[in-house]
Structure 1
């Protein structure tokens, strides 16, 4: 009996030690100064220092301004992975400190990572730059100030095509989009634009209200001049359906049996 009891204790002890362990290289990242309008991104790297695979079930941010991503596949013992945190600084000047909570099947099931920094407005950024820095800075030039979709069926999602040119002397980085309607986004994340070059920027538009819509959008960038945050307007007349009126009426008419 004592022998069986000892075996049970040993098996329990071995089972308790058979777990994955997420060991992060760092649990806090300080961005320092962040230009307003940019996306501040950092990858927290970790290694599984345990003896069982680790699966991250979820990563929850403390606010909607932080978007997390992470290694979705099981991380085997001795292997590494990442948790990526992206902070959207548009319209959020000042000091920030945000957390992301990592939930997994590791020995410590919940771990908290922190990002912090200070978002500088355009005017604050200018104060940190010399005249030579300003002369080398990027310059955003937008090909047109607005786009009119015409008649748009409710529930439709259409794309507006713009061209952005960098008239400056350093790479132009396009940041977040802000709008009061929260109905505009990038079709694909824009890449940095080299000095003297142009790039197509496609904006996806999905207005929610019926009737005439005119939504102002701010396109943020690392251009610190007056044109650095480009303002544009997306217009549309939103209707319930684009089907011909006669077909709509016909579809609602009862047809008797013959």
Structure 2
């Protein structure tokens, strides 16, 4: 009898141990953005809760395409606590319907979970057709403090920063989107949060041109301003080197390389 009771208790403990695992429970597994203005970054946070009895660690999150950038809670999520999986879809140059998946890998009971985002990217002309004059009047307006920045003389491959002030003179939040240029020499440090009506923000562009000579590069900054994307120009006189060793000699005199 005692042996039977011991075996029964052992079996129960093993059964409990086998079921000791975290459970990943999402508030929803599909998000429909609806209509998305082309050029903006469509962002959604999928929230989840650990409804199991052991901590959950999200090991990896993989999007089905490079147009979607995921972020996630990196620390262990204890039982009863919550975390997020953030999906950011870049709509720049992608008009039309989209349907993308994000695969979440963790140590939960369901090791692999698939989330979905979908929507329709509309060009600004398409958006305008669906809005009344009153709605158009409420849209945001992007105004730059200047349209041109001249770096002057710079060394090939050198990284320089140009700071521009963006002001929203419209009547709704201004959302900045992707940056594009005819060369691979321009980047942005970070995209500001949505800019409230009447407010301003600073954007920092990183310029690293390797071609020599007088360079002029146009940069386009997408946003939800229905009047059009912002365009600015970066200029520079790119030389091989700015080091003092690069001197040209005229007779006995040394003059800076120009």
**TM bucket normalised to smaller:** 0.7 to 0.9
1:203-234 Cα shifts (integer Å, max 9, x gaps): 22234x34244332211111111xx2011222
Structure 2 counterparts to residues 192-203 of structure 1, below 5 A: 192-203=194-205
Local SS of the residue matching 2:80: coil
Q: Distance in 2 between matches of 1:43 and 1:188?
A: 19
Q: Deviations over 1:111-158 (max 9, x none)?
A: 111100001100001011111112222222223222222333455332
In the alignment, the residues of structure 2 paired with residue 109 and residue 162 of structure 1 have an alpha-carbon distance, to the nearest angstrom, of 45
Partners of 1:6 and 1:118 lie apart in 2 by 58
Is 1:172–1:222's contact at 8 Å kept on the other side of the alignment?
yes
- Note the aligned Cα RMSD (angstroms): 2.5
After superposition, the Cα gap between the structure-2 partners of 1:7 and 1:147, relative to the gap in structure 1 and judged at 3 Å, is: same
Contact 2:148 2:233 in 1 (8 A): yes
- Cα shift readout 1:27-81 (whole Å, capped 9, x = no counterpart): 1100001111111111111111111100011111111111111111100111111
Q: Is the 8 A contact 1:39 1:88 kept in 2?
A: yes
Q: Does structure 1 retain, via aligned residues, the 8 Å contact 2:212–2:240?
A: no
Q: Structure 2 vs 1, CA of residues 246 and 171 (structure 1 numbering), >3 Å: closer, same or farther? A: closer
How many residue pairs end up in the alignment? 243
8 Å CA contact 1:29–1:114 kept in 2: the answer is yes
Secondary structure (helix, strand or coil) at the match of 2:43 reads strand
For structure 1, which segment, 192-201 or 106-115, has the greater mean C-alpha deviation from structure 2 after superposition?
A: 192-201
The aligned counterpart of 2:192 is 190
Alignment CA distance shift 1:107-1:239 (3 Å): farther
Match of 1:211 in 2: 212
Q: Which runs of 5 or more residues in structure 1 are unaligned? A: 248-258
What pairs with 1:23-62 in structure 2 (closer than 5 Å)?
Answer: 23-62=25-64
Could you say if the C-alpha distance between residues 83 and 234 of structure 1 is closer, same or farther in structure 2, counting changes exceeding 3 Å?
same
Equivalent-residue separation in structure 2 for 1:217 and 1:16 (angstroms): 57
Which runs of 5 or more structure 2 residues have no equivalent in the other structure? 248-258
> Which of 103, 107, 110 is 1:108 aligned to?
110
Cα distance in 2 between the residues matched to 1:177 and 1:22: 36
State the alpha-carbon separation in 2 of the partners of residues 111 and 32 from structure 1: 23
State the partner residue of 2:178. 176
- Deviation, 1:187, is 2.4
Question: Which region of structure 1 is more displaced relative to structure 2, 131-140 or 39-48?
Answer: 131-140
Tell me how far apart the structure 2 counterparts of residues 205 and 33 of structure 1 sit (CA, whole Å).
33
* Residues 182 and 43 (structure 1), Cα distance of their counterparts in 2 relative to 1, 3 Å cut: farther
**Quick one: distance in 2 between partners of 1:239 and 1:17?**
67
Aligned partners of 2:33, 2:182: CA distance in 1, in Å? Answer: 28
Partner residue of 2:88 out of 82, 86, 89? 86
TM-score in terms of structure 1 length = 0.83
Task: Report SS of the residue matched to 1:45.
Answer: strand
**Residue in structure 2 matched with residue 231 of structure 1 by the alignment:** 231
SS at match of 2:127: helix
Contact 1:210 1:237 in 2 (8 A): no
Q: Which residue does 1:17 correspond to in 2? A: 19
- With 36-45 and 190-199 compared, the bigger mean Cα shift is at 190-199
1:65 correspondence with 2:67: yes
State the SS of the aligned residue for 1:245.
Answer: coil
